[in-house]
Structure 1
Amino acid sequence: MLPLPSFLFFVFFFIFSSIPTCLSEDDEAYTKCAPLQFPCGNNSYEIRYPFRVDVPDRPSYCSYPGYNLTCTKDGNLYADALSDNFIIQNITYSTNVLHVVDADFTSGGCPLPSRNSTIDSFTFSYINRVLRQKNVSNPAIDLFPFNYTNEVLNVTLYVSCTGPLTDLVISSYFLHELPCLTRGGNYAYFTLQPPTVSEGLAICSGPVIIPLLKSAANRLLGDGGANFGAVLESGFDVQWMVATKWCAECVSSGGRCGYDESNPIESTCFCRDGNQNAKCPSSALSAVASILLVCIVIFLSKFVKRTYVSNNKVEAFLKGYGSLASKRVSYSQLKKMTNSFKVKLGEGGYGGVFKEKLKDGRFVAVKVLNNSKGNGEEFINEVSSIGRTSHVNIVTLLGFCYEGSKRALIYEFMSNGSLEKFIYSNKSKGTKRILDWEKLFEIAVGIARGLEYLHRGCSTRILHFDIKPHNILLDDAFCPKISDFGLAKLCPKQESVVSMQDARGTIGYIAPEVYCRNFGGVSHKSDVYSYGMMVLEMVGGRKNIDAGVENTSEIYFPHWIYNHIALENSSALIGIVEEEKKEIVRKMVFVGLWCIQIDPTNRPSMSKVVEMLEGSVKSLEMPPKPFLSSHQ
């Protein structure tokens, strides 16, 4: 810790350097990014960060890439990232909320919905494309520029039914008839339950999913659907996912939010005096006491809490696991083992991985964690979860190092690397998958057994939350081992739902309920979803979302694999002609599709997955089609 005189010098220097000059002109960026009134039709909207409209002399740094708003000739305001289906009616910056309505529902009367009106986070690629063009990326919000607020729920419609549904079907699925759409021999029904597939509903079109505010949905239930058209026209709320916290702090401090292309992850607050930080300093000497308090808080949190509290937390954890003491090595020992980290295998957001040979002839992989990983949470997650395990399909922790900011994990070395090297093919590059179908199936079963062990075989249930091909390692015999427990969470076996403050996982494999609680509670079924996505990728030899395919209907791969393999049994599309291999593929497809069901309660447990894989394909029921796309 700094001695007291040095600390006081630091505080007073910060105070006086933070007081802006009152006589200087306002900074150019601060002036150009002022809120503006944008007329569109009969309305006028306040436009400020993160949104952009096409007006003269408005720099790009006043908005976030991709959050463009457009006023059409008919006087309606649209967000490019939401497509032209949704008209913006109101913008509330205090809560980061857009109130929108589907353009098809603004003509009054009782419209017959022919498509989903959902916001499909899985197909949001607009902002991703904009960022790629600028060679920057913000993985925290790239895929999800907008999401529903907590006041929105989905209403499921079954329309154009060729006859009335039976009382049993109506009561089983909590259906209510829509009088205004029941005409000409056709019937229509709605429910607040998730969409489902049933023989009793086969006479209907749909399901069609419509998001509504909870108040509107309750109104729909209350009047028996009599005001269906007015309820649809009332719209719903979506929340933008960029600058949800720091921008409000910037504005409250007198600044204006902006964007820095050279550092897109960090916040940029344009201040009158040209300062660009997370927020603006106070502008009067009367605020000296507040500034002093802020300085003290910053000093304590940066130089004391991060240094000591984090260390104490990890050390307390390690003392609680006495059995791990024999696996601990010093940093000097670690450097000798790795020849000062010279043989590097790879690099990731967590840090680097190095290869070394021990004195007994064994090769090991050393994962050195970055010092930027907060208060040691990732280190604790890895050690506490994997330190409890002993299974042929879980990578083995051989040792670890923890000396202040020096943190490393020592694992058994997997000579064949990760699964993702072996399962993807690329027609344009002429590359094909390397492993045969029998080996792929063995790997899928091995991963399922490893997950079953994590969910049921340990004294405490372990939820991985990052199952993907990159985190499946293969030994010299291609035996799969689950690795990378940095996002794992421990919970008692009797708890079916766990609490989480933030979404975790990798885009493309994250279960819907992890980032939007409207889909259900987060549980071990979230790992099942990730496993299902990975199995479908193993079958198709491509990513589950691929914007580079020739046919846009194939972008969301689970739909393509359901239509062509699950329904039509067209295994020849992926080069399979032998009957035994067809059975393997069909079994993997059925299991994968069951695992990615939107409703977590419809997904099998990992124990059931193992049973399905080891059983006969004839005993497997046809899974429902995944309901993720708004373009069905």
Structure 2
Amino acid sequence: MCLRLVLVQLLLLIVANAALTTTQLAQPKLDCLKKCGDLEIKFPFGTEEGCFLNEDFFINCSLSKPLLRRSNILVTDINIEGQLQVQSFVSRNCYNETHKIKNSTARFRMGQFTISEAQNKFTVIGCDSYGYIKGKIGEKNYSAGCISSCERLVDVTNGSCSGFGCCQIDIPKDMKRITVKAYSFERHKNQSVHYNKTVPTTVDWAITGQGKCEEAINNQSFACKEHSDCHPSGAEGYLCKCKDGYRGNPYLSNGCQDIHECSDQQGNYKCHRQAKCVETEGSYRCECPKGYNGDGEIDGTGCTSNQLPVTMISLGVGLSFVMLLVISSSIYFMFKKRRLIKLKEKFFQQNGGLLLQQQLSKRSGTCDTARIFNAEELKKATNNFDEKRIIGRGGYGTVYKGFLIDNNPVAIKKSKIVDQSQIEQFINEVTVLSQINHRNVVKLLGCCLETEVPLLVYEYVNNGTLFEHIHNNDNAPTIPWETRLRIAAETAGVLSYLHSAAATPIIHRDVKSTNILLDDNFTAKVSDFGASKLVPMDVTQLSTMVQGTLGYLDPEYLHTSQLTEKSDVYSFGVVLVELMTGKKVLSFDRPEKERSLIMYFLFSLKEGFLFEILENGIVNDDNKEHMREVAMLARRCLRVKGEERPTMKEVAMELEGLRRMDKHSWDNAQVNIEETEQLLSEKSYNCNYGDGSNSTAAYESMTDHALVAFDGGR
């Protein structure tokens, strides 16, 4: 019986950039074993000394099963173009009524092999389960994980991972020396579950140790043989491929053989019906018969009779060709333009463009509204979405820095997926979010609906995230306590405004330090409303799929799936502790009792050594009492039961009171907060949208996404 089954899988692709551990073999022996079991062995792979390029290409066949090196990973297929199919192990964690009965850790130690971020997914399956993946990217350690939650594992849909009883995260580029580990929150006895011990995995290999093609081609051990070309692969390797007109094994001498196009049964040549196909080295040519002129090719001039004078034929052919070219080009570009216009219209309607135009026409003249950008404008702004313009990647999409025609910088977010069932809600929320006029909320300027997935355009905030500043050893000591307290008060003010001042209350649902941006003056800008929820006025809690970030997630929400405004209060309490301690919320590099920052923080308060865990350089005799009061406030925010936590309005007022304690009394501070909120509310309510609504905020995303741990926000 498995109590909480967790399967951690590495699917589809592990790129192998095999390091050269021995001198490379130029060519294999003539009597090398061609098969191991049912697997065909192709050089540079081999099963015995003198048959493989180097140790990384050794296939162990001593047990009549092809095993890659000494890792005991079963190889099921070898592709000479750079892939292997293997069976890799999974990690699992199971319990019976009294104790743990199955526990395993999956490790991948295959020399310099690295994992491709393009086709791998880290997957956790189970109820109340979570898993971690750890490894190295260059010389840096990397770890990430996600949580899987459900009522019964048997209810999980086979072959899919929508977030119910299953979660997935992307694997970063160039990751190696991997360890995956499965855990369970509670040792519940559930039901018997069958699971695979291995999963099929695709491994990409390349020749490394000689540098890229430009360096390797001058090396005596250069692997590409006659009639082949070198192609860069991975961070520092290359692959060999036969030239056009040749096929075979480019790593063997004379392995690339000329394709006989003229006698090929598939007829892979393009000669005119009156022309003759003649074989040439690596190619072919078409010859017109006697009495005909032309190149003999179907796509060329073909073969034409030369009974007329050659000059007339040439002139006629030339004029016809020019006319045909002009007409064909005109027709081609006309159809291409028409096809592009129709495609844009399709995407525009599919993404709710007509509905957005109706919403904007109702609200015209009442206040600032969302602008509808065209695709060419944003393509030009981002230099055709150049990768060099990427400033952030998240669970919901990629963020690019762009410059509009007036040279103003903007942040352009390109979503990953579209949920057609929520288009109407998405359009309504875009028009509402674009009209928020809060100085501490990142402003949504507009969107583009002419592309397959909508593009959202925001104001650009240029000083990075709060996470980057407080967890960077070079930056953290330079942020004094007064600035940290102001950032906390500004963030709390935004959440208080969303919860209580907006016409339709909003729960952010993903409050964390990576979603708090900073400008040059270290003014806080709350961003990433991709997981937020609008709350009807007569509803106090919502039942939703659990969504958030590991370490910041409200434990009551995690176990009940009941989302309330107090869930944001808990997450904000975690941010307060980050600001005070300068420590990451979760870290496996710390001692076991300190891995969870929140547990260690609460323990320090209980045992009376709070100031020992605070950020070095920010504590002094003048602010100790303030920091103690903020710590007490954070503890109240982190209470397990949501009903025992303060509201965000109370939190914002208390933080603002601490900031102004030296100049004003608490009563004056409270009056200022209430007056500010009243002014903000009045300003928002002045924007009448023509449909009876006065909503002032919403979120960016069209879909609910699966839980993504360690996801950076911008």
When the two structures are superposed, what TM-score results if normalisation uses the length of structure 2? 0.46
Given candidates 628, 647, 651, the residue that maps to 1:586 is 628
Q: Assess if the C-alpha contact under 8 Å between 1:440 and 1:538 holds in 2.
A: yes
TM-aligned CA distance change 1:389 to 1:79, over 3 Å: farther
CA distance in 1, matches of 2:98, 2:570: 42
> d(CA) in 1 for partners of 2:486 and 2:520?
14
- Pairwise CA distance, 1:349: 3.3
1:78 and 2:18 correspond: no
1:129–1:395: structure 2 CA closer, same or farther, 3 Å change rule?
closer
Q: 1:516 aligns with which of 551, 556, 559?
A: 559
1:66 corresponds to: 91
Separation (CA, whole Å) in 2 of partners of 1:504 and 1:239: 25
- Say whether residues 1:368 and 2:368 are aligned partners: no
* Equivalent position to 1:356, from 398, 402, 409: 402
CA-CA distance at 1:352 after TM superposition: 2.6
Q: Does the Cα contact within 8 Å between 1:387 and 1:397 map onto a contact in 2?
A: yes
Report the AA paired with residue 387 of structure 1: S
Matched AA of 2:396: Y
Q: Is the 8 A contact 2:347 2:450 kept in 1?
A: no
Kept in 2, the 8 Å contact 1:350–1:373? The answer is no
Match 2:377 to one of 330, 333, 337: 333
- Alignment of structure 1 residues 617-632 onto 2, 5 Å: none
Name the amino acid aligned to 2:452: S
Identify the residue that residue 386 of structure 1 maps to in structure 2.
433
Counterpart residue number, 2:549: 506
Matches of 1:453 and 1:370 in 2, distance apart?
A: 29
How far 1:147 sits from its partner (Å)? 6.8
Tell me, yes or no, if the aligned pair for 2:511 and 2:568 is still in contact at 8 Å. Answer: yes
After superposition, what is the alpha-carbon deviation per residue over 1:264-291, rounded to whole angstroms, capped at 9, x for unaligned? xxxxxxxxxxxxxxxxxxxxxxxxxxxx
Q: Are residues 554 and 309 of structure 1, via their aligned partners in 2, closer, same or farther at CA, if it must alter by over 3 Å?
A: same
Shift of 1:561: 1.7
Shift of 1:348: 2.9
Partner secondary structure for residue 449 of structure 2: strand
Corresponding position of 1:128: 132
Change (3 A) 1:321 1:591: farther
**1:479 and 1:373, CA in 2 relative to 1: closer, same or farther beyond 3 A?**
farther
SS across alignment from 1:584: helix
For the pair 1:410 / 2:451, whether they are aligned, the reply is no
Are residues 414 and 422 of structure 1, via their aligned partners in 2, closer, same or farther at CA, if it must alter by over 3 Å?
Answer: same
Q: 1:525 to 1:480 in 2, by over 3 A?
A: same
Q: CA 1:403–1:75 in 2, change beyond 3 Å: closer, same or farther?
A: closer
After TM superposition, the structure 1 = structure 2 runs for residues 542-553 of structure 1, keeping only pairs within 5 Å, are 542-549=583-590, 551-553=591-593
Question: What are the superposed Cα offsets for residues 342-393 of structure 1, whole Å, 9 maximum, x if unpaired?
Answer: 4332333333322233454532222222356676669658625623522111
Aligned length: 384
Specify every segment of 5 or more residues in structure 2 that has no aligned partner in the other structure, as ranges: 1-36, 40-72, 77-84, 106-124, 154-184, 204-342, 667-714
Contact 2:74–2:88 (CA under 8 A) maintained in structure 1: no
Q: How far did residue 547 of structure 1 move?
A: 1.4
What is the CA–CA distance in structure 2 between the aligned matches of 1:311 and 1:526, rounded to whole Å?
Answer: 34
Which protein is richer in helix relative to its size?
Answer: 1
- Of residues 309, 316, 321, the one that matches 2:355 is 316
Separation in structure 2 between the aligned mates of residue 532 and residue 524 of structure 1, nearest angstrom: 13
For residues 95-494 of structure 1, the aligned pairs below 5 Å read 127-129=131-133, 142-144=145-147, 236-238=188-190, 259-262=199-202, 311=350, 313=352, 315-316=354-355, 319-322=358-361, 323=363, 327-342=371-386, 343-371=389-417, 380=427, 383=430, 386-425=433-472, 432-494=476-538
Amino acid corresponding to residue 319 of structure 1 in structure 2? Q
Asked if the contact 2:465–2:517 (Cα under 8 Å) also holds between the matched residues in 1, the reply is: yes
Contact 2:88-2:200 at 8 Å conserved across structures:
no
Give the AA of the match of 1:486.
Answer: G
Identity %: 28
- Structure 1 residues not aligned, in runs of 5+: 1-26, 30-55, 83-95, 99-118, 151-210, 213-234, 248-255, 264-303, 621-632
Cα deviation for residue 570 of structure 1 reads 3.7
User: Is the contact made by 1:310 and 1:375 (CA closer than 8 Å) also made in structure 2?
Assistant: no
* 8 Å CA contact 1:147, 1:239 repeated in 2: no
8 Å contact from structure 1 (residues 455, 462) kept in 2:
yes
Q: Which amino acid aligns with 1:328?
A: I
1:28 deviates by 10
Say if 1:28 and 1:447 are closer, same or farther in 2 by CA, change over 3 A. farther
| CA–CA separation in structure 1 for the residues paired with 2:429 and 2:527 | 9
Counterparts in 2 of 1:565-576, with a 5 A limit?
565=605, 567-568=607-608, 570-574=610-614, 575=616, 576=618
The amino acid of 1:599's aligned partner reads K
| Map of 1:294 onto structure 2 | none
Closer/same/farther in 2, CA of residues 439 and 459 from structure 1, 3 Å limit:
same
Amino acid at match of 2:603: N
C-alpha distance in 1 between matches for 2:576 and 2:449: 36
Name the amino acid aligned to 1:562.
Answer: L
Deviation, 1:435, is 1.2
One-letter code of the match for 1:506? T
Give the alignment's TM-score, normalised by structure 1: 0.51
Matched residue, 1:221:
none
* 8 Å CA contact retained: 2:441, 2:527: yes
**1:555 maps to which residue?**
595
Q: Distance in 1 between matches of 2:191 and 2:558?
A: 13
CA distance in 1 between counterparts of 2:622 and 2:191 reads 49
Contact 1:397/1:412 (<8 A) preserved: yes
Is the 8 Å Cα contact of residues 344 and 353 (structure 1) preserved in structure 2? yes
Residues 149 and 560 of structure 1, relative CA distance in 2, 3 Å threshold = same
CA contact (8 A) 1:62 1:257 kept: no
Residue 531, structure 1, aligned to residue 471, structure 2: no
**1:462 to 1:326, Cα distance in 2 relative to 1, 3 A:** closer
SS at match of 2:454: strand
SS at match of 1:259: strand
Rg (Cα) greater in structure:
2
| Deviating more after overlay: 463-472 vs 590-599 | 590-599
RMSD: 4.8
Q: Give the secondary-structure state (helix, strand or coil) at the position aligned to 1:353.
A: strand
Task: Decide whether aligned partners of structure 1 residues 554 and 97 sit closer, same or farther in structure 2, where only a CA change above 3 A counts.
Answer: closer
- Go from structure 1 to structure 2 and tell me whether the alpha carbon gap of 1:347 and 1:143 turns closer, same or farther (over 3 Å shift): closer
Q: Secondary structure at the residue paired with 2:600?
A: helix
Matched, 1:609 2:549: no
Amino acid at match of 1:367: K
Distance in 1 separating the partners of 2:613 and 2:646: 27
